[in-house]
Amino acid sequence: MTLSFGTRLRSAMDERGPLCVGIDPHAALLDSWGLTDDIAGLERFTFTVVEALADTVAVFKPQSAFFERFGSRGIAVLERATADLRAAGGLVVMDAKRGDIGSTMAAYAETYLRKDSPLFSDALTVSPYLGYGSLKPAVDLARESGAGLFVLALTSNPEGAEVQRAVREDGRTIGATMLGHLAAENAGETPMGSFGAVVGATLGDLSSFDLDINGPLLAPGIGAQGATPADLRAVFGAAVGNVVPNVSRGVLRHGPDAAALRDSAHRYADEIRAAVGG
């Protein structure tokens, strides 16, 4: 029987430390590594990260767009990296932010959440802003495959507030509504559910939101975006034990030196563990 994503995530974070490293091979980062902005540079960058960190970091979040921009050859690199990371014991959260309706949403789910898909990932980021119910094909297939979802709820980009903090007729914000749906998905699951929220670590006091969804909270913003591990408890309160802090540039800027990448990832994991008290 396949263990649920929530179970595997809890185990990975306890064993390797509560850290997610983003894999974001954008042009400026390739250049800072001395690499060309082409498929050769993409491959060198990606597999340097994989070889340096796959057996020591709990979670990886490849940003699909930075691979898609190279066409089919870029997707092939993403497929290989996803398989290699998972083979080494890392969990892969595919950052594709898919969201659509009906058969199209079902096709996105098949791409990332069906076990025999070349891009099968442990979890997928999704956008619920065609209505939470539009995500049902992804929710159903994730349950069947033992995978998870991270739903955009309270994102760190300033533009997100105009949607996520808009108030419904019942007085709840849209963001709070999404958190409520996720809490319902995760009800009764142990050690935690598999349906998480994306909640920015840069947002400051979120005590007006109930973040106790019994599921993971993917928290971008640590490092280059300004948040620090020490901020996590103030932002996430009692839910801090389920936070999956994401660091991208803060780790990746140390490449292409593999030892420097490892040292940076270990340092962040240790600082986060100390900050959340686990």
List of residues 6+ apart from 137 with CB closer than 8 A: 102, 105, 106, 108, 109
Residues 61, 97, 115, 136: which is the catalytic one?
97
**Is there a catalytic annotation at residue 61?**
no
List of residues 6+ apart from 14 with CB closer than 8 A: 278
Name the residues annotated as catalytic. Answer: 97
